Structure 1
């Protein structure tokens, strides 16, 4: 049991770590949304063209981040020793809307390096714990020294209106704090800032009839971290962190291309040996009383200008070759594809008469990238399902789920014909129908419904079912003979 002072000190320490992470998190989220600031190669270019391209941003970061997320689909969890996915765990998953929210969580991890899942009891329905994916800019977990999995404490910190809130999760209890939202202190003296800090320190939150702190019946910190590309001795790596520099370069090249297109995409004509033409100024009677220079912008629009004199000469600058910029842009996009294992056709959009096998080969890097994420996210999701079982009071299932495996949809992109052909061959070899249905991409609940439908068909038409079984046995025997040969 922690005292209030110990809990507040722990909140302050974890908040400092969260504050350290936020700049990178906000930068990556900004690049994903396409709101990153435009970088310039020189101050001269910024001076003359900075405002012109202030709101411009080409956005390859979003494509790189979305590519693996669209292939990360959880079909369920299979406890150790079980023959099929756990239906109750799938029910809780669906009841919390995690079929959709999990995509937000995976995207957050890909963008910022990590995301979090929080599990807590549901007083209105004890059989259905509350499960949510949490933003990496609001949560942080402290681990036991020397461990990357044993959690000592977790903090969720967020702002709402004019208040800031913090919830500290410990293995045996949960503390809730709040404080006034911090305002701008740039114009305040050091003494006034110290007063604001004292008055704005964390204080126990008013929770009505709910105790504060309240006991944690699960006996473990109920938050788990999903790391993206974790390291042994450093923070996990975001998929978009390495794209930022190349994205800045591509945006700069686009700005330069637009500028060249505006100023030099047409031949530029030069006039030498002539004075700037002037237009006479007339009085009311029509007499010439002076002259004024011709508005050269009018000639640029009309594309006509008259010069007189014996030494007038004209020459021409050729138009700028804009292909130079586009070739460099293509190289930059190619670098992004190579660095992130994103297929070229995701970025360039060029596909002409490409075969199915060639398409699968082109996506091999992306598939491997997705499978790596399935490994690390799957480890965290097993722990999340264990927390769900603990919140339900089922310690036996918690132990079984911890040693089980997450069932993912196939990461490869295949046509219906290719999938049907592959599953038919696996069926002939002897793979069970239920396994093939899962491989096809059905969820465990859909597979259970399918098996019930199949059983009803057999009950209504036992002769047809027996014939189908004989055909399968014949194919099985042929396949066994071919394998033996």
Structure 2
């Protein structure tokens, strides 16, 4: 590998080259993209009165998927103590909130990053941060496909430029002074694991690198397939509003007039286009002049086109038709809703598989940064626990779990232990701890047992 600073500068150039495609995705996500397919003459004619209608389905599509990517925790195979340490560090670092933000960024822009570093002291929890793809970029090892190295750069309030180079056995930070980069701090370890972890959406294996285009190996936004239909949808919606104005103020025609008839009598200035369109009455002393108006526009054509584009977007995103299409007053049944969500749920499960592997790498780094540990306390097998991306009813879920707990194997034990059932029902670790305490008190409290006996005696032994 080349010198760290040389590699960092090369990655910085690559990061700068990615700015334009990232800004394009960001504009669509914020609903600030320019209006496409508009005729220049119409734009010039309407001027300031042409206000684009932006139906922000890019934001909607991002949130639809993000809402089905909730992390409930992490599970280790070997050490229960490491399990508890991970849960504690996850909560200290506001993991549930950070993961939601990072998933949203990854879905919208194609990728986001998580970094893990040690706390201020050996007794402090490791620090988990998330980074925007505008500030960070990485490169994979061509042989192992694991992250080989990456950078994060930022600028302080005093305009000082900083850059951190993350590699598989540590990191090094520089700041810019004049035309030189000055080393500020570094850390070396033997983790063989880069502390900059990319969470990408829909990455390609090979990808294509083109000028001012996104490198598809670095992921692409979830709304990438609908950009062209979305541009068409916004154009049709904007055209509909222009036509609605002429629907309210029908276009008129006149013959037998000349330019002098379109001059303001008080000021002597020519009338602007809007005055000619929106004027309430035209009059002239010329006896051969004729006036009339065109038939107003039929807005149903726009409605039907918008519905068609919505169907295309629904097909591209795998989002249920009930989310996008124009529906009647009668809502579909619960079974029909679940059936229509099948493709969306499967896509969400695929994203959980990809993102889960990266979150497991983050948790592995958390364990490695928790001070001195034995090798056995650094497990390789970590599992991300995701909330079910489907939308079953609480009653259905509870009924299925209760049946599994009640089912017995050949030795008389439940197929699913009660502890697992409580996790499957979505109770938090704190709630499960309270339940365990209540279970123990119920079994061992002699006063409670005596009270139960008195109640049974009073009821005649029933």
Is TM > 0.5 for Structure 1 vs Structure 2? yes
Indicate how the Cα distance of structure 1 residues 226 and 464 shifts in structure 2: closer, same or farther if over 3 A, else same.
farther
1:380 deviates by 0.7
Note the residue ranges of structure 2 that are not aligned, 5 or more in a row: 208-216, 408-414, 454-462
Q: Pick which of 158-167 and 350-359 moved more.
A: 350-359
What's the secondary structure of 2:155's corresponding residue? strand
2:75 maps to which residue? 78
1:254 deviates by 1.6
Indicate how the Cα distance of structure 1 residues 413 and 396 shifts in structure 2: closer, same or farther if over 3 A, else same.
farther
* 1-structure distance, mates of 2:94, 2:398: 30
* 1-structure distance, mates of 2:43, 2:422: 58
Counterpart contact for 1:74–1:406, Cα < 8 Å: yes
TM-score (norm. length: structure 2): 0.81
The yes-or-no answer on 1:251 pairing with 2:209 is: no
Q: Pick which of 454-463 and 153-162 moved more.
A: 454-463
* 2-structure distance, mates of 1:49, 1:313: 26
Q: Map 1:138-287 onto structure 2 (within 5 A).
A: 138-149=135-146, 151-161=147-157, 162-179=159-176, 199-205=178-184, 212-216=185-189, 218-234=191-207, 235=217, 236-272=219-255
* 1-structure distance, mates of 2:284, 2:401: 81
Q: Pick which of 301-310 and 221-230 moved more.
A: 301-310
1:473 maps to which residue? none
1:337 maps to which residue? 314
1:167-208 CA-partner distances (Å, limit 9, x unpaired): 11233342211226xxxxxxxxxxxxxxxxxx4342323xxx
1:376 maps to which residue? 354
1:338-367 CA-partner distances (Å, limit 9, x unpaired): 111122333347473322111111211221
1:313 deviates by 5.1
Counterpart contact for 1:79–1:397, Cα < 8 Å: no
1:481 maps to which residue? none
2:423 maps to which residue? 438
Equivalent residue in structure 1 for 2:436, among 451, 456, 459: 451
What's the secondary structure of 1:86's corresponding residue? helix
* 2-structure distance, mates of 1:85, 1:362: 40
What's the secondary structure of 2:18's corresponding residue? helix
Q: Pick which of 125-134 and 84-93 moved more.
A: 84-93
* 2-structure distance, mates of 1:376, 1:225: 11
The yes-or-no answer on 1:367 pairing with 2:345 is: yes
1:113 deviates by 1.6
The yes-or-no answer on 1:63 pairing with 2:60 is: yes
* 2-structure distance, mates of 1:80, 1:299: 78
What's the secondary structure of 2:108's corresponding residue? helix
2:410 maps to which residue? none
Note the residue ranges of structure 1 that are not aligned, 5 or more in a row: 181-198, 206-211, 283-291, 467-485
1:443 deviates by 2.8
Counterpart contact for 1:38–1:54, Cα < 8 Å: no
What's the secondary structure of 1:233's corresponding residue? coil
Q: Map 1:82-93 onto structure 2 (within 5 A).
A: 86-93=83-90
1:119 maps to which residue? 116
Counterpart contact for 1:38–1:53, Cα < 8 Å: no
Indicate how the Cα distance of structure 1 residues 153 and 298 shifts in structure 2: closer, same or farther if over 3 A, else same.
closer
The yes-or-no answer on 1:322 pairing with 2:284 is: no
Counterpart contact for 2:319–2:344, Cα < 8 Å: yes
1:132-179 CA-partner distances (Å, limit 9, x unpaired): 122122122232222222x33221112223122101123334221122
Counterpart contact for 2:247–2:297, Cα < 8 Å: yes
2:395 maps to which residue? 417
Counterpart contact for 2:72–2:386, Cα < 8 Å: yes
1:69 deviates by 0.8
Q: Map 1:301-316 onto structure 2 (within 5 A).
A: 303-304=280-281, 314-316=291-293
1:462 deviates by 5.9
Q: Pick which of 357-366 and 171-180 moved more.
A: 171-180
1:187 maps to which residue? none
1:249 deviates by 1.5
Indicate how the Cα distance of structure 1 residues 463 and 304 shifts in structure 2: closer, same or farther if over 3 A, else same.
farther
1:193 maps to which residue? none
1:119-138 CA-partner distances (Å, limit 9, x unpaired): 11002353410011221221
Equivalent residue in structure 1 for 2:98, among 86, 90, 101: 101
1:42 deviates by 2.7
* 2-structure distance, mates of 1:58, 1:125: 51
The yes-or-no answer on 1:405 pairing with 2:383 is: yes
What's the secondary structure of 2:3's corresponding residue? helix
Indicate how the Cα distance of structure 1 residues 270 and 165 shifts in structure 2: closer, same or farther if over 3 A, else same.
same
Counterpart contact for 2:246–2:296, Cα < 8 Å: no
1:328 deviates by 1.0
The yes-or-no answer on 1:132 pairing with 2:129 is: yes
2:460 maps to which residue? none
1:479 maps to which residue? none
